[in-house]
Chains A and B, each alone.
Chain A
Amino acid sequence: QQQVKQSPQSLIVQKGGIPIINCAYENTAFDYFPWYQQFPGKGPALLIAIRPDVSEKKEGRFTISFNKSAKQFSLHIMDSQPGDSATYFCAASIEAGTALIFGKGTTLSVSS
């Protein structure tokens, strides 16, 4: 049973475009929703995270939009650059120390 569903599986955008990656969750006990970025040969690294009491969070060119009633959240990357080409994972957890449940990942390619 997949608790966090992520789409699309892959995404190709032109430099300067705004890729959007979507995630949906089922467990209403989830209280923390991070996005991780992974480059080839490296481990995932935290990009940005949000809690359900906030509808939007922005850090630099990265924005999370959160819709609690729809149980969905998304990542927007403004003015995307070739260096943003990576795999992006959404995730969710109930509380610190519990399992972080990951989506299946989205491979983003930003062409110059």
Chain B
Amino acid sequence: DTAVSQTPKYLVTQMGNDKSIKCEQNLGHDTMYWYKQDSKKFLKIMFSYNNKELIINETVPNRFSPKSPDKAHLNLHINSLELGDSAVYFCASSRQGDEKLFFGSGTQLSVL
């Protein structure tokens, strides 16, 4: 059983489209995150949710909106996609009070 699963694995789309990436964790963790990894492999946090409540919101364009329907899921919706949004997006989770992050396998987003 995959601990942190993301779908889709690959996403190719045109500029201006709206797309969503889904993330689910079956570890019973309370905190979930979205990280962006650019073409140079730099990993940067975007958002963090704890028990469905937003607790970290880094400087990310308003076109990115996370949604947490329950504490096992954290989806990422992106409006009006731009070329610069092309990257690998990683979902991660952690137990409350524990710094260890468990990452999903990533979603490779390519905006054409």
Q: Looking across the interface, which residue of chain B has its beta carbon closest to that of A97?
A: B31
Tally of chain A residues near chain B (CB < 8 A)? 25
Nearest Cβ on chain B to A30's Cβ, whole angstroms: 11
8 A Cβ contacts from B26-75 to A = 31, 40-45, 48, 50, 55-56, 58
Contact of B99 among A44, A100, A105, A107 (CB under 8 A): A100
A46 on the B face (CB < 8 A): yes
- Report Cα–Cα, A34/B99, bound state, in Å: 9
Residues of chain A with a CB closer than 8 A to B100's CB: 34, 46, 49
Q: In the complex, A93→B43 CA distance in Å?
A: 14
Contact between B99 and A99, CB atoms less than 8 A apart: no
Contacting residue for A42 out of B31, B50, B58, B106, CB 8 A: B106
Binding site for A on B (CB under 8 A): 4, 31, 40-45, 48, 50, 55-56, 58, 90, 92, 94, 96-101, 103-106
Chain A residues engaging chain B, CB cutoff 8 angstroms: 32, 34, 36, 38, 41-46, 49, 87, 89, 93, 95-102, 104-105, 107
